[in-house]
Structure formats: structure tokens, C-alpha cells
Structure 1
Amino acid sequence: MDEPTNEPRPADSRPPLVAAHTNLTPPQKAWSAYTVHALACRVCCDVDAGACGTAGELHQAWVVASQAAFRRLAGETA
């Protein structure tokens, strides 16, 4: 048989491209702020240094943003 096995697809059959630069969701932004701080903070990196107030505030901001996102997904008002 001389039938081609790898026929080229039509040019318009490709899926749409995804933008390389997209914005993060609010929970992602909050988690990013928390992790960036935690990786650079001397108090956060030292297990014997105690609690870091800034990390606690950033973590709480992430919790609030995540809970609001879950409420929106569930159809509740945020």
C-alpha cells in the first residue's frame, strides 16, 4: 500500500496558544508573597528563632484569599 501514514494536519486544527504571561489568582499571589518572604527571612529559616510575625500575617492573608475563592466556587457571595 502506498497510502501516506502521516498526513499533515490542516493549519487551523491546532489548539489556541496560551499566553506566556498570565496573572496569578489572588490565592496564588498571597502564597507567593508568603513563600518569597519565608525563603529570605532569617527568622523563618531558623527553626530556633521562634515565630515570625510577618510570615504569620502573610499566611493569614493566603488563608483569607483561599477561603474567599472557595466560597466563590461554591456559589456563595464572597
Structure 2
Amino acid sequence: MDEPTNEPRPADSRPRLVAAHTNLTPIQEAWGAYARHQLHCRLCADLDAGPCQTAALLRQAWETLTRDAFGRLAGETA
């Protein structure tokens, strides 16, 4: 028998490629910056000292982004 066993598929039958690297949302980026800072800051690691000013600003930025996103979802802001 001369029947081919593996016929090539048409080029358009392949699934679309997915990007290997995608960007995080601004909220995820803000949380990541806050978490990375907390892991490496000596002042933040000190239980008696509490979070430093940089950590407070990073957390405030994350909370603001989150509050704004919830507001947009609820239709409160454009």
C-alpha cells in the first residue's frame, strides 16, 4: 500500500500562539512593588518598628488603585 500515514495539516489549523510574557494589571504591579519592598526592607522586617514610609506610600498607591477599580466596576466613576 502506498497510502501516506502522516498527512500534513493545513497551516491555518494550528491554534493561535499565546504570548510568553504578558503584563500584570496596575493593581498587581502595585501589590508586587509593596510586597517586594516588605521582603527586603530591614525596617519593615523589624516588628517593633513597623512599616517604613516607603512601604506606607506603596500600600497607599495599591489601595488607591484598588478603590478606583472597584468604583469603576460599581459604576461610580468613569
Q: Same fold (TM over 0.5)?
A: yes
Secondary structure class of the residue paired with 2:58:
helix
Give the superposed CA RMSD.
Answer: 2.1
Aligned to 1:69: 69
Scaled by the length of structure 1, what TM-score is found? 0.71
More relative contact order in 1 or in 2 (CA 8 Å, sep 6+)?
1
Aligned to 1:29: 29
Unaligned runs of 5+ in 2: 1-11
Bigger radius of gyration:
2
Runs of 4+ in structure 1 off by over 4 angstroms are none
The whole-number CA distance in structure 2 between the counterparts of 1:69 and 1:18 is 26
Secondary structure class of the residue paired with 1:71:
helix
The whole-number CA distance in structure 2 between the counterparts of 1:44 and 1:66 is 22
The whole-number CA distance in structure 2 between the counterparts of 1:13 and 1:76 is 43
Q: CA deviation at 1:30?
A: 0.6
Deviates more, 1:43-52 or 1:30-39: 43-52
Task: Give the count of matched residue pairs.
Answer: 69
